[in-house]
Amino acid sequence: MIENKQTLAVAESETAGCLQTAFSLSEGDTGNFQGGITAYNLGQKCRHLNIEPIHALSCNCVSEMVSQQMAINVSKLFVSD
């Protein structure tokens, strides 16, 4: 990622900010980590990460589709790769 000059943003739920902490503390970081969001419940995931609510409700927000939507939309939110 650093070699390719790509940036990173993360969307978390169950990990409650642990990924953001880990990336912010990484050695040699040259500004690749843009930030992140922790959206723990369905309402916040829908509001901030544009998760499809009917599907998310049907699986308690645990599915590949929800994960993909969270990843794509946090990338847009933080203008990251």
pLDDT of res. 29: 60
pLDDT of res. 51: 95
Dig out the tokens for 19 from the structure.
């990924």
pLDDT in tens, 21-34: 888 887 766 678 89
Q: With contact defined as beta carbons under 8 Å apart, do 1 and 76 qualify?
A: no
pLDDT of res. 30: 61
Count how many Cα atoms sit within 13 Å of the Cα of residue 41 in the half-sphere of its side chain. Answer: 1
pLDDT in tens, 4-50: 888 899 999 888 888 888 888 877 666 788 989 999 999 999 999 99
Nearest-10 crossing angle of helices 42-49, 64-77: 40
pTM of the model: 0.85
The CATH code of domain 8-77 reads 3.90.950.20
What helix, strand, coil percent values describe the chain, rounded to 5?
45, 15, 45
Lookup result for tokens 């927000």: 61
